[in-house]
Amino acid sequence: MTEKSLDIKLARIRSDPNCRDFLIADAKDADMAFGIAAPGRSPEMHAHEGRFRSLAEYRECIRQVVRQGLVDIMLMSAHTSSILTVQERLFENSPVTPAARANDTTDIYFARGGDYPREPSQPFRTATIDHIQCGHVDCRPEERGRGANLGLYSITFNNDAELDRQTLEAYREFRLEAERKGFRHFLEVFDPNAPLHPIDPQRLGGFMNDIIVRTLAGVPEAGRPLFLKLVYHGPRYTEELVRYDPSLVIGVLGGSAGTTYDAFKLLAEAQKYGARAALFGRKINNAEHQLAFIALLRHVADGAIAPEEAVHAYHGVLQKLGIKPHRPLADDLKLTDPCLSYLHPRPQARVTRGAAGAAALSAGGDGRADRPDFARMTREERIGYFRRRLGGVGGR
C-alpha cells in the first residue's frame, strides 16, 4: 500500500517544527450538513434554475481529486466512505488519506426552511467508528483496516456551562472508544453559534484558545487529536496557540465559498503565523475547476507562488480551458472573508530557494538542476509558468 503523505508530513512536522510541510484537506462531507445542496452547483446550472450536482456527481469529483493526489486528506461522510474506501478501494494505492466525519452536532443541520444553526449546538453522532472502519457494525479485528481510520470530530462551545459540559462528555466518550479501537481523529472546534452570554468579538480568539487548551489538558498522548481545525482569528491568536504548545498542529477551516483570493490568502497568512494545515470544503467544491484550484493551493503552500499571482494564474487556466469564471478577475482579487478583515496590504514575501525547489517537484519537475528557479523568476514569469503547467489539468 502506498505510504500516505499525511503520515510523512506529520512525522516531519513533529521532528522539525521549522519545516515547510503543510497539510491540505478537501472536505467533501457536506451531505452530513446541507442535504440536496451539499454537492454544490451543477456546472451547467443557470442562476435562475437552482440546480445542484447529484450525489453520484459529487462522488465522481472526489474520485478525480484523489487520483490527482495533491491533497493529503479526503474527508467524506461515512456513507460515501463506505462506498469509495471500503467497496471501491479508491485509496489503496493513493498517497491521500481517507477520513470520515465522525459526528454531526446540531449546529451543522442546514435544512431548507429550518433554524437549527440558530440554536445552541448539541452533541450527536450518526456514524459509528465501526461503520467508518469496516463498513458495518462490530468489526472483526482484521477488518478495521478496510475503511477509513481517521475521523473528524467536531465540538462547539457556547459559553454555557451545562451545554458545554455535555459537549465535553460526548467528546470524552468518543475518545475512549476511539482509543480502544485504534481510531485516529482530528478535532474541529467551531466558534460559538448561539452563546448564552455573548463574547466580545475582540476577545473571541482568546476565549477559543483558552477553551481548546483547557479541553486537551486532561487528554494524554494516546487520546489526543492528530491536529486541530479552527476558525482563523488572525496572527496574534494563531501565534499564541503555537507558542503555548508547539506540539499542537494547528489547522484552519476554509469557511464560506468567498473569492479565489480569499482561499489563497487565508492559506498563506495562516501558514505564515504557524498553522500547518488547511481544510477547504465550499472553496474547493464551488471552484470553476477543482483540480486546477487545488494545484494552485498546493503551490501557494509550497511557497512557489504568491496568493495574488495564483489568482491571475487560475484565471489564465480557466481562459485556456474555455471555462467562464464565476466573477471577473478584478472581483476575484478582492478579500471578502471576514476572518481576513484585519489584513492590510503588505509587500510580497520573497520566495526561498528551498520552497521553490519543493514546488517545482510538486508541479511535476524531476529534481534536475535545470528545473524552474521560482525565486529568480519575475511575477509574470511565475504566472506564465503555472498557466502552462496547469492548462492540461483534468485531461482537458
Pick the CATH number of 5-299 from 3.30.1330.40, 1.10.10.10, 3.30.70.260, 3.20.20.70: 3.20.20.70
What is the structure's pLDDT at 337?
A: 79
Q: Which of 58-67, 150-159, 323-332, 337-346 has the lowest mean pLDDT?
A: 337-346
Counted residue by residue, the chain has a size of: 396
> How much is the average pLDDT of 238-267?
94
User: Which range is least confidently modeled, 223-232, 265-274, 361-370, 378-387?
Assistant: 361-370
Closest CA to 9 of 96, 68, 75: 96
| Segments of 13-134 assigned E as strands | 23-28, 73-76, 97-101
Least confident of 74-88, 93-107, 307-321, 381-395: 381-395
Q: How far apart are CA 171 and CA 189, in angstroms?
A: 11
Residue of 247 and 385 predicted with greater confidence = 247
Residue 37: which H helix or E strand, with range?
Answer: none
Q: What is the pLDDT of residues 294-327, one digit of tens each?
A: 999 999 999 999 999 999 999 999 999 999 999 9
Contacts of 141 (CB under 8 A, 6+ apart): none
Q: How much is the average pLDDT of 113-136?
A: 96
Say what the pLDDT of residue 245 is.
96
Pairwise pLDDT comparison (163 vs 357), residue with the higher score: 163
Domain ranges of the chain: 5-299
Arithmetic mean of pLDDT over the chain: 89
Confidence band for 174, pLDDT divided at 50, 70 and 90: very high
Exposure letters 55-75 (e unless 16+ CB within 10 A, then b): beebbebbeebbebebbbbbb
Q: Give tens-digit pLDDT for 336-378.
A: 977 776 664 443 333 333 333 333 333 333 333 345 766 667 7
Is 155 buried (19+), middle (13-18) or exposed (0-12) by CB count in 10 A? buried
Task: With cut-offs at 50, 70 and 90, classify the pLDDT of residue 49.
Answer: low
Q: Compute the average pLDDT of residues 262-287.
A: 96
pLDDT value at residue 370: 47
Report the percentage of the chain scoring pLDDT > 70: 86
